[in-house]
């Protein structure tokens, strides 16, 4: 497994990279407001893929209650910062 990013900025960069790869979208089109409403490929299956990818990358388990709250990049980032306790 890869090294965990140790700042919020590094984590954000990681997330942009991940969303870009998963949803085949250019990195500069992704910001904190990016959500299923702004990316077509981020549908319900896309969301499952994203969760699976995050869980795998940071060696986490995200329970269903939290999965449904991850509605945009900002919220995901907030949740991850909390989970990885920076």
Interface residues with other proteins (CB under 8 A) are 2-3, 18, 21-22, 24, 44-45, 48-49, 52-53, 55-57, 63-64, 67
Q: Give Cα separations from 38 to 2, 3, 6, 11, 24 (angstroms).
A: 29, 30, 28, 21, 13
Q: How far is the CB of 81 from other proteins (least distance, A)?
A: 20
Distance CA 42, CA 25 (A): 10
* Least distance in angstroms from the C-beta of 2 to other proteins: 7
Cβ 39 to other proteins shortest distance, Å: 13
């Amino acid at each position: 497994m890869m090294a965990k990013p140790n700042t919020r900025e590094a984590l954000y960069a990681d997330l942009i990279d991940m969303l870009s790869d998963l949803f085949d979208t250019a990195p500069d089109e992704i910001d904190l407001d990016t959500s299923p409403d702004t990316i077509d490929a981020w549908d319900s299956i896309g969301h499952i893929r994203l969760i699976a990818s995050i869980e795998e990358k940071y060696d986490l388990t995200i329970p269903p209650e939290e999965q449904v709250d991850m509605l945009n990049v900002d919220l995901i980032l907030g949740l991850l910062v909390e989970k990885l306790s920076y």
